[in-house]
Amino acid sequence: MKLDDLYNVTIESFDVNGYGVCHIENKVVFVENALEKEDVEIKITNIHKKYAFSIATKILKKSPHRILSLEEIDKLSGECDLAHVDYETECLIKENKVKNTIRLDNYKFNSIIKSDKIYNYRNKVMVPFQNINGNVVSGFYERKSHNIIDTDFDMMSSEIASKILYLIKRYLVLFNVSIYDEKTHSGIFREVMIRNTINNDYMVVLIVKENHDFKRLVEILTSEVKEIKSIYVNINDKKTNVILADEFRLIYGDNKIVENILGLNFEVFPKTFMQVNHDQCEKLYSEAIRMANLNKGMNVIDAYCGMGSITLNIAKHVNHVYGIEIVEDAIINANNNKKLNNIDNAEFICGACEDEIVKLTNKGKIDVIFFDPPRKGCDPKFLDVVISMKIEKIIYISCNIATAKRDIDILINNGYELNEATPVDMFSRSSHVESITTLTLKN
Ligand X SMILES: C[S@@+](CC[C@H](N)C(=O)[O-])C[C@H]1O[C@@H](n2cnc3c(N)ncnc32)[C@H](O)[C@@H]1O
Spot the catalytic one: 22, 80, 378, 399.
Answer: 399
Task: List, in order, residues 6 or more apart from 130 with CB less than 8 Å away.
Answer: 136, 137, 138, 148, 179, 181
Please state, in angstroms and rounded to a whole number, the distance separating the CA atoms of residues 33 and 44.
13
Q: Which is nearer to ligand X, 268 or 418 (CB)?
A: 268
**Which residue(s) pair with 423 in the sheet?**
435
Q: Which is nearer to ligand X, 76 or 334 (CB)?
A: 334
> Minimum distance between the CB of residue 401 and ligand X, rounded to whole angstroms?
14
Measured at the alpha carbon of residue 321, what is the angle toward residues 389 and 349, in degrees to the nearest 5?
80
Q: Which residue in the shown chain puts its C-beta closest to ligand X?
A: 306
> Minimum distance between the CB of residue 421 and ligand X, rounded to whole angstroms?
18
Residue of 393, 386, 266 lying closest to 333 (CA atoms) = 266
Residue of 68, 241, 81, 57 lying closest to 146 (CA atoms) = 241
Residue 399 is a catalytic residue: yes
Pairing of strands 51-61, 393-398: unpaired
C-alpha to C-alpha distances, 86 to 68, 346, 432, nearest whole angstrom: 9, 42, 16
Pairing of strands 434-441, 416-424: antiparallel
Please state, in angstroms and rounded to a whole number, the distance separating the CA atoms of residues 135 and 137.
6
Q: Which is nearer to ligand X, 309 or 431 (CB)?
A: 309
> Minimum distance between the CB of residue 380 and ligand X, rounded to whole angstroms?
12
Q: Which is nearer to ligand X, 59 or 334 (CB)?
A: 334
> Minimum distance between the CB of residue 45 and ligand X, rounded to whole angstroms?
31
The enclosing H or E element of 73 equals helix 70-74
| CB-based contact 317:296 (threshold 8 Å) | yes
> Minimum distance between the CB of residue 400 and ligand X, rounded to whole angstroms?
10
> Minimum distance between the CB of residue 371 and ligand X, rounded to whole angstroms?
9
Please state, in angstroms and rounded to a whole number, the distance separating the CA atoms of residues 73 and 71.
5
Q: Which is nearer to ligand X, 32 or 372 (CB)?
A: 372
Other CB atoms within 10 Å distance of the CB of residue 358: 14
**Burial of 292 from C-beta contacts in 10 A (0-12 / 13-18 / 19+):** buried
C-alpha to C-alpha distances, 188 to 65, 101, 168, 204, 231, nearest whole angstrom: 45, 45, 13, 17, 17
Q: Which is nearer to ligand X, 170 or 320 (CB)?
A: 320
| CB-based contact 70:59 (threshold 8 Å) | yes
Residue of 403, 386, 382 lying closest to 439 (CA atoms) = 386
| CB-based contact 149:158 (threshold 8 Å) | no
Please state, in angstroms and rounded to a whole number, the distance separating the CA atoms of residues 125 and 204.
10
> Minimum distance between the CB of residue 24 and ligand X, rounded to whole angstroms?
39
> Minimum distance between the CB of residue 387 and ligand X, rounded to whole angstroms?
17
Task: Return residues touching ligand X (CB under 6 A).
Answer: 273-275, 304-306, 309-310, 324-327, 330, 352-354, 372-374, 379
Residues serving a catalytic function are 399
